[in-house]
Every structure is written in C-alpha cells, then in structure tokens.
Structure 1
Amino acid sequence: MKSEAIKTKTEATNPVDKTSILKLLLDVGPLAIFFIMNGRAGIFYATGAFMVATVISLVASRLLFKRIPVIALVTGVFVMVFGALTIWLHDDTFIKIKPTIVNCLFVVILATGLYFRRPLLKLALGEVFKMEDEGWRILTMRWIGFFAVLAVLNEVMWRNFSTDTWVTFKSFGIMPLTFVFMLSQVALIMRYQIPEAEPEASEAKS
C-alpha cells in the first residue's frame, strides 16, 4: 500500500509522462525535418522529406498508441496530396496553400456540427473531458475561430514573405500558437466540467 501511495504521488508530481513526450515528438518531428531540409536542399526536397516523415509519424502513432488522431490523419492526407502536386508540377504554391485549406476544412466541419447541434469536439474528446453541452458549444466556437485565424495567418505569410520565412513560421509558429490557445481554454473546461460521481458512503467506508 505504501509503495502504491508513493507511486501515485510521484505520478502526480510528474504530469509529463513518456506518452506525452512521444506524442509531441511525433507531431513536431515532421515539421522539424521540413525546416531542416528546406534550409539545406530547398522547398521541393523539403516537401518530399516532409511527406515521408508524416507517413512514418502516422504509422508510429498507430503502432505505439493503437490509433491515429483524426486531425493528424486528415492533415496527413492533405500533406500527401498537396506535397505530390508540389513535386510533380514543381510549384511550391500547393504545399503553401495546404494549411489554409486544411484549417478551412476544419472550420466547415465544426461549424456544420454546431449548426446541427452535434458538437463534433465532444465526439472526439468526450472521453477526455466531461463537460456540459454549453461548454462544448463554446469550445467548438472558439476552435472554429482559431482555425480561421490560422488560415488567415497562413495566407498572409506565404503571400507576403519569402519561402524560408513561411517555412519557419509553419515549423515553429503554429505549434506554440496552438499550445497557448489550448492553455487559454483550461478555464472554460474547468467552468463547465461535470464532476465525477462521488463514491457511495458504503464504498468509502470499506
């Protein structure tokens, strides 16, 4: 019993476990490779490396965690399609507009679910967060706004700045912005969180 208590206390004081680190590496890895290859060999070789790294990341996620996140899967499909067009037509416009199209797609999907009063975030994250329906509605609206902002930012970056600047923004700008946005939603999640059912008195005594 004492060893279990110590283990529980240790886990509580170390919230960042190996699983979280692996997931972060799988998310950041392809972007880091994209950035490095762009600096060394140019956008077209970087696109090819990005495609390969994305496939490896998805396969690793399936093998390690027995599932592939929906957002990662959708993004991966678009990476393959627009990456192939970029290399085949030798036109980097395709890989540059990919984030815009993906983010707009997420806006449409989430907005459609909201219109039909079926917050799709609840279907995707309902096992992680237990919230009231109003909380899911507000959170969905905020994600819609965030994806729309990302789409606009991507358009501004690739249309007005150099390819190297756009690659840097894509590799090291999107992830921090997403992380900050997610942290800013903690208060909302806590406000509408449904408390877990308290154990019955008989179970507590036993």
Structure 2
Amino acid sequence: MTQTPRKKPSALTKQLLEFGPLLVFLAVYLYMRDATVTVAGTEYAGFVVAVVAFVPLQILSTIVLKLLTGELSRMQIATLILVIVLGVATVLFNDERLFKMKSTFIFGLFGILLFIGLWRGQSWLAFVLGQALPLDQEGWMILTKRMAWFFLIFAAMNEVVWRNFSTDVYVFWDTFGQMGVMFVFLMANYKLIEKHWIGER
C-alpha cells in the first residue's frame, strides 16, 4: 500500500510556526515588563513570565511543524532542547540571565560543531541543509567556514547585548535583531550560493 505524499505547508504557515512563539514572547514581555507574578511566595518578573509562555509554544510549534513536514533538522532539534533546558532553569532558579544566554549557547555550539566538521574535511552544514541548498562541494566548504565564524561572532554579540544593555533592548534583539543580522549574512553570501548552485534554476 503506497503512502500519499505529504503536502508541504505554505511558506506563511511555516513562518507563523517558526516565528509565532517569538512574537508571543515579545507581546507577553511588553505587557508584563513592569509587573510581577507571585507563585508559592516567589515573585517572578515579567521576563520570566514571558519565558513561561514562550517555551510551551515553541514545543507545540515544533511538534506541529514535524507533523506537517514529516521532518525536523538536527539544528531545530538541538535548538528546541536548549530552549527547554534554559527555559526550565530560568524558572526554577528565577534568574532571567540563564535564558538570555540561550543564543550564546545555541550559536556557540553550532559554530564549534561546524569547525569540528571542517577539521575533519567535512561540511556538516551540507548534511543539515543539503536538500534546501543544492551546492557543489567547494561551495559547501566555503559557506560552512563562513557560517562557523558567523555563529561564533553571533554568540559573542549576544553576550555583549545581554550583559551591557537593558532587558528591553535584549528582547528586541532576540526577536527582531537576530533575524535582521541573519538576513544580512545570507544576503552577503548570495553570490557564493549563486556561483556554486547545482540545482534547477
């Protein structure tokens, strides 16, 4: 008995699933940033409340994305695990600094892993994104090296932001700033991708 091919979700649906939890996090934080919630005698700031709203939504959106597409990248799985671990730790220790380090851990880990792959003469980025970006081997190695450095610099940028600026600035960096920086990086590598593209045009 043959299986019916899984219909891919629309681009809008994927974007809502991927960025919806972040937008909810932003909305809850803006609404609660000057307030506190007391639970069992412990006061939780608005940022922690926003984390409590964000983590379950991130889990739910990832599950729905898996059901709709039939697959999750290793990057998505690793990101979800770190979000859950740091989200739970933030609430348990009532320390918002733990969640603010989320991007530091995520991008730092990805950068280190990509460099390990390069050291072994492999592009682990191609292993993760090969179906989405059909590039030749040379293109993947160049892009992987650039992405590895980018991830490490990105992790350092996150450390600078959360350690030196207000929580308001961090929240907007986390929701919009990071996406903007990532977009600029991808656009900066457009010519490389175009040059080494081996898929249909």
Q: Scaled by the length of structure 2, what TM-score is found?
A: 0.84
5 Å-filtered alignment, 1:15-164, equals 19-41=10-32, 42-164=46-168
**Distance of 1:166 and 1:192 partners within structure 2:** 36
Partner of 2:39: none
**Distance of 1:33 and 1:179 partners within structure 2:** 21
The residue identity in structure 2 corresponding to 1:29 is G
Tell me the secondary structure at the aligned position of residue 194 of structure 1. Answer: coil
Farther-moved stretch of structure 1 (125-134 vs 150-159): 125-134
1:104 positional shift: 0.6
Q: Scaled by the length of structure 1, what TM-score is found?
A: 0.82
Tell me the secondary structure at the aligned position of residue 67 of structure 1. Answer: coil
1:187 positional shift: 1.1
**Distance of 2:132 and 2:25 partners within structure 1:** 31
Residues 83, 102 of structure 2: 8 Å contact kept: yes
Unmatched runs of 5 consecutive residues or more in structure 1? 1-16, 197-206
1:127 positional shift: 2.2
Q: CA distance change for structure 1 residues 195 and 96 in 2, over 3 Å: closer, same or farther? A: closer
The superposition leaves residues 32-69 of structure 1 with CA deviations (integer Å, 9 ceiling, x where unpaired) of 11111111221011011110110111011011111123
How many residue pairs get aligned? The number is 180
1:150 positional shift: 1.3
Q: Which runs of 4+ in 1 moved over 3 A?
A: none
The residue identity in structure 1 corresponding to 2:120 is F
Farther-moved stretch of structure 1 (85-94 vs 176-185): 176-185
For the pair shown, the structure with the greater C-alpha radius of gyration is: 1
Partner of 1:188: 192
**Distance of 1:133 and 1:167 partners within structure 2:** 38
Aligned sequence identity (%)? 34
Unmatched runs of 5 consecutive residues or more in structure 2? 1-7, 33-45
